[in-house]
Amino acid sequence: MSFCSFFGGEVFKDHFQPGIYVCAKCGHELFSSRAKYEHSSPWPAFTETLHGDSVAKREERPGALKVTCGKCGNGLGHEFLNDGPKRGQSRF
């Protein structure tokens, strides 16, 4: 699945069916639907990754990490620190 859709509605933003979200490029498991929540951003929002190696992260700026697929390096967006639904949680 591709997270960013800049030229139209993101088809997975309002999709809340049970399942696993995978990398659009290689199929690596990234997020569970159990970690998905409604957010005002135009993209799907998750509180945590499915596995410890689901994604790779590097600091892009204070409070925001650049996130890529842990297997193939496909760009997935960002992890925003302390911006999740509960205090101290991140938002992917």
Q: Tens digit of pLDDT for each residue in 26-73?
A: 999 999 989 988 888 777 889 999 999 999 999 999 999 999 999 999
Report the CATH number at residue 36.
Answer: 2.170.150.20
74, 42 contact by CB (below 8 A): no
Confirm whether 51 is domain-assigned: yes
What is the number of domains present in the chain?
1
Confirm whether 49 is domain-assigned: yes
Tokens 């410890």 — which residue?
52
Confirm whether 3 is domain-assigned: no
Confirm whether 8 is domain-assigned: no
- Name the pTM for this structure: 0.79
How far is Cα 63 from Cα 60, in angstroms, rounded to an integer? Answer: 8
| Parent domain of 53 | 20-91
Confirm whether 29 is domain-assigned: yes
